[in-house]
């Protein structure tokens, strides 16, 4: 990123995040609500780090302070706002920690997760070029309701910001809104902030009143207008949270598409911020990639797959499956309808097919678990083929036990392995066997009752009745 400017003025930043977030109707602090897999506050803090402030302070309410603070870079200083008396009061709380600081103070809100480092940098550049007492980020929107409106005089100079609830009918029509990001010259901020009272509809100490105070004292206030309303979208309700997530989702998908990932239908594909995807991979519709997932090159994911906190190597496919906390090697085929749970490791060229669940197990190179099986706490060696409907009985109601199946083993359909049990390399099991003891290498384990046929049994029992039925 281009440097903010050439001047040597120092920059301190204050993120306000102590608000009650009442409109979220949540037990969780507002700024902890996630947008595409990251808490809102983390997005704001990441954007801020791009402009490299010398100091960053975050204002928090005492009850959520530790949790929120722990998500931020270590050097971010914590400021407590004991009572949530308004945005002006929150900045006053930070003021005590910034005593003696001489330079510019950037104030932003923790509930605007879509603001970018580029937008912050352009605001600071404008501020330093014109050196007003305050530069605020504004944007023209179609529906300005709930936002503070930017009032200007006949010469176009900013005179004040009026909050929605305090605005008169004419002011409510103003479509230029206050984005809630400001660069202040420190001394002017503290002087004006000392004069703010709570004579307004909400009985709060508004930071926005500083704008009117500065302007009425003849000090310059600059509105730095940006084009993209998303930049300042404030999240106050779940509805706005969804709107912000939608925009962030598009940004993330666009980034991947520009980097060479095919996304068949971006309107129904969801990729969280921490996910990486290699070139020429195709994401088919209804695909959800979350957490710290890494997908390699030339993979096909979906349709209808969920992959969370997993690694998928080059050239693998995951069709209509759930993969959680698993490692999938290269050239692996997963699904349709497989469920890979934490601790599953599928080596290169292996397969987990239809209606297959695997947990905490290693499946060796080229090994196949094609149909209707549960493999838990197991090792399956290279080149082994697991027959349809195999089950590793790994749990006796108290403890979990391991099943170890060697390489190049062929297990018959419907084999149950009662763990702990081992099957040697190159061995086989008979269909329908309940394997309770080890099978030696190259041997056959068969454990089922022999078939016996009873001549005439069925015709004697049902034959006469069938004749009667026919006569009716």
Residues that bind Ca ion (CB under 5 A): 111, 234, 236
Least distance from C-beta 16 to ligand UD1, angstroms? 4
Which residues, at least 6 apart from 78, have a Cβ–Cβ distance to it below 8 Å? Answer: 57, 58, 60, 65, 69
81, interface contact from Ca ion, ligand UD1, none, CB < 5-8 Å by kind: ligand UD1
Least distance from C-beta 39 to ligand UD1, angstroms? 12
Residue 433 zone, left/alpha/beta (φ > 0; ψ -120 to 50; rest): beta
17, interface contact from Ca ion, ligand UD1, none, CB < 5-8 Å by kind: ligand UD1
Least distance from C-beta 124 to Ca ion, angstroms? 22
Which residues, at least 6 apart from 403, have a Cβ–Cβ distance to it below 8 Å? Answer: 375, 377, 378, 379, 392, 394, 417, 419, 420, 421, 422, 423
**Catalytic residue check, 69:** no
Return the bridge partners of 433, or none. none
Q: Which of 37, 39, 53, 86 binds ligand UD1 (CB under 6 A)?
A: 86
**Cα–Cα distance, 234 to 146 (Å, whole number):** 10
Residue closer to ligand UD1 (CB basis): 109 or 270: 109
184, interface contact from Ca ion, ligand UD1, none, CB < 5-8 Å by kind: none
> At CA 361, angle to CA 358 and CA 367, rounded to 5?
80
Return the bridge partners of 15, or none. 58, 108
DSSP state of 382: T
By CB under 6 A, residue 84 contacts ligand UD1:
yes
207, interface contact from ligand UD1, Ca ion, none, CB < 5-8 Å by kind: ligand UD1
By CB under 6 A, residue 381 contacts ligand UD1:
no
Choosing from 33, 127, 371, 410, which is the catalytic residue? 371
**Cα–Cα distance, 39 to 33 (Å, whole number):** 5
Give the residue nearest to ligand UD1 (CB).
148
**Cα–Cα distance, 180 to 169 (Å, whole number):** 22
Residue closer to Ca ion (CB basis): 240 or 425: 240
By CB under 6 A, residue 87 contacts ligand UD1:
yes
Long-range contacts of 245-252 (CB under 8 A, 24+ apart): 245/35, 245/36, 247/114, 248/35, 248/36, 248/43, 248/113, 248/114, 248/273, 249/36, 252/36
Residue by residue, DSSP assigns 203-271 as: ----TTHHHHHHHHTT--EEEEE-S-GGGG----SHHHHHHHHHHHHHHHHHHHHHTT-EES-GGGEEE
Site string for ligand UD1, 229-248 (x = CB under 6 A): -----x-x------------
**Cα–Cα distance, 200 to 223 (Å, whole number):** 23
By CB under 6 A, residue 59 contacts ligand UD1:
yes
241, interface contact from ligand UD1, Ca ion, none, CB < 5-8 Å by kind: none
- The CA-to-CA distance between both ends of the chain, in Å, stands at 90
319, interface contact from Ca ion, ligand UD1, none, CB < 5-8 Å by kind: none
Least distance from C-beta 385 to ligand UD1, angstroms? 58
Least distance from C-beta 180 to ligand UD1, angstroms? 3
Q: Which of 53, 110, 229, 445 binds ligand UD1 (CB under 6 A)?
A: 110
Least distance from C-beta 93 to ligand UD1, angstroms? 8
Contacts of ligand UD1 in 14-33 (CB under 6 A): 16-19
Residues in the site for ligand UD1, rule: CB under 6 A?
16-19, 59, 81, 84-87, 89-90, 109-112, 147-148, 161, 163, 177-180, 206-208, 234, 236
Catalytic residues: 371
């Amino acid at each position: 990123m281009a440097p903010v400017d050439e001047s040597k003025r120092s920059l301190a930043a204050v993120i306000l995040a102590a608000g009650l977030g009442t409109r979220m109707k949540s037990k969780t602090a507002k700024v902890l609500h996630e947008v595409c897999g990251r808490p809102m506050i983390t997005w704001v803090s990441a954007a801020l780090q791009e402009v490299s402030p010398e100091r960053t302070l975050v204002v928090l309410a005492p009850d959520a302070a530790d949790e929120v603070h722990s998500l931020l870079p270590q050097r971010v200083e914590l400021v407590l706002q004991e009572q949530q008396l308004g945005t002006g009061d929150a900045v006053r709380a930070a003021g005590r920690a910034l005593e003696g600081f001489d330079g510019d103070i950037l104030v932003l809100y923790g509930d605007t997760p879509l603001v970018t480092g580029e937008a912050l940098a352009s605001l600071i550049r404008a501020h330093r070029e014109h050196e007003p007492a305050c530069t605020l980020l504004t944007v023209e929107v179609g529906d300005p309701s709930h936002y503070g409106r930017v009032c200007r005089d006949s010469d176009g100079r900013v005179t004040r910001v009026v909050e929605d609830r305090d605005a008169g009918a004419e002011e409510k029509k103003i479509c230029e809104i206050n984005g809630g990001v400001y660069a202040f010259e420190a001394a002017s901020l503290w002087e004006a902030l000392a004069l703010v009272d709570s004579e307004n509809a909400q009985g709060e100490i508004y930071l926005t009143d500083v704008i009117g105070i500065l302007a009425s004292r003849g000090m310059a206030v600059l509105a730095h207008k940006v084009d993209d309303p998303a930049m300042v979208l404030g999240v106050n309700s779940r509805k706005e949270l969804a709107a912000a997530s939608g925009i962030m989702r598009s940004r993330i998908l666009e980034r991947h598409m520009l980097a060479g990932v095919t996304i068949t239908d971006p309107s129904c594909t969801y990729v969280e911020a921490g996910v990486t995807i290699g070139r020429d991979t195709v994401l088919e519709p209804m695909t959800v990639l979350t957490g710290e997932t890494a997908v390699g090159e030339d993979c096909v994911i979906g349709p209808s797959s969920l992959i969370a906190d997993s690694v998928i190597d080059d050239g693998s496919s995951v069709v209509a499956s759930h993969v959680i906390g698993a490692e999938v090697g290269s050239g692996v085929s997963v699904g349709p309808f497989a469920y890979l749970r934490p601790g599953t490791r599928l080596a290169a060229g292996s397969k987990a097919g239809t209606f297959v669940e695997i947990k905490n197990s290693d499946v060796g190179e080229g090994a196949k678990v094609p149909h209707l099986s549960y493999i838990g706490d197991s090792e399956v060696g290279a080149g082994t083929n697991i027959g349809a409907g195999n089950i590793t009985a790994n749990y006796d109601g108290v403890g979990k036990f391991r099943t170890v199946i060697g390489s190049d083993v062929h297990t018959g359909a419907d084999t149950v392995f009662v763990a702990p049990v081992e099957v040697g390399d190159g061995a086989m099991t008979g269909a329908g066997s309940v394997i309770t003891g080890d099978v030696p290498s190259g041997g056959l384990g068969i454990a089922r009752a022999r078939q016996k046929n009873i001549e005439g049994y069925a015709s004697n029992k049902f034959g006469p009745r069938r004749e009667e039925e026919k006569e009716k």
